[in-house]
Amino acid sequence: MAHRRLPFFVLIVLISLWLAGPAFAQRPRVSVHLNTEKFQSQEIKDKIVNLPVELARYIQSINWSNNERNYDISVRIEIILDNVKPTSHEDRYDGSFIFSGSTEYQAADNRWTFPYMAGQSLNYSGNFNPLTAMVEFYMNIMLGYELDKHSKLGGQSFFEKANDVIQQSKFSEFFQTGWKERQYRIDNLLSNENQALRELEYFFTQAHNRLRVDERNTAGQYLRVIVLKLQDINPENEGLERFYGLHAYDLARLLSTMGFRAELEQLLLLNPQNEATYREFLE
């Protein structure tokens, strides 16, 4: 039986789509988990029992990409409550917020205070609410990291949206309940010093994808650029540890695949914390 060949232009389109990265859907799959084990009163637990459903509904009601790009991700949020302070018109909860999902980004935030009343519906208004703002802040940071992989500094608009949340928090009585520290986090992400590190995510993704379609010359160029740029990044940059933690093994594997021993040895000098990993591919 004869096999039909795909037209050349069709092959080019398919390869381009593959290299562009994963296709994304516009709204994430969400699971929210609430831990109220520290509360002795069942009445208090009952007051907030619907929060996970309301928060998941809120997240799924928003078009996070604003039609800039589609994405297909899952998000898991765990809320661990430590304390509740009833007031005349609302209850205020103190707790921790743990954010994770199908992307590489994870965050744990241990200083969080928000108001919530039993039966309260959560709807997007554009105004600062320390409950929904926490979700907006970390969702946009996650999307920023993810889009940085698929175009150089492609996540900029999402990091700026996270920064908008911080700017709103400054006019709130809740600013001193962790938002000041979150400002430091987003300021670091948006800093000029951090741009080179963000570009590395794009170069690494491109190197990996080019090798998948056997474009070795292009992949090799990206890999050499990564090692060169790593030499110029301040070793005290907090994001550098994250980059090595995520990519040290795969970066060493790709360099070894390309036969780039000199670059591997340079990587060992730059990041001795992962010496065992690099020596595995040097031997």
User: Tens digit of pLDDT per residue, the chain (283 long)?
Assistant: 444 444 443 333 333 333 444 444 457 889 999 999 999 999 999 999 999 999 999 999 998 876 555 667 899 999 999 999 987 788 999 999 999 988 899 999 999 999 999 888 999 988 999 999 999 999 999 999 999 999 999 999 999 999 999 999 999 999 999 999 999 999 999 999 899 999 999 999 999 999 999 999 999 999 999 999 999 999 988 889 999 999 999 999 999 999 999 999 999 999 999 999 999 999 8
CA dist., res. 58 & res. 129, Å (int): 13
> Taking the alpha carbons of 226, 228, 233, 234 in that order, is the dihedral positive or negative?
positive
Residue 231 and residue 266 in contact, taking contact as beta carbons nearer than 8 Å: yes
**Per-residue pLDDT, 267:** 96
DSSP one-letter code for 123 = -
CA dist., res. 202 & res. 151, Å (int): 6
| Phi, psi (degrees; rounded to nearest 5) at 209 | -70, -35
Q: Would you tell me the crossing angle of helices 51-60 and 130-148 to the nearest 10 degrees?
A: 50
Global pTM reads: 0.87
Q: Which two tokens stand for residue 279?
A: 């020596």
Residue 134 and residue 109 in contact, taking contact as beta carbons nearer than 8 Å: yes
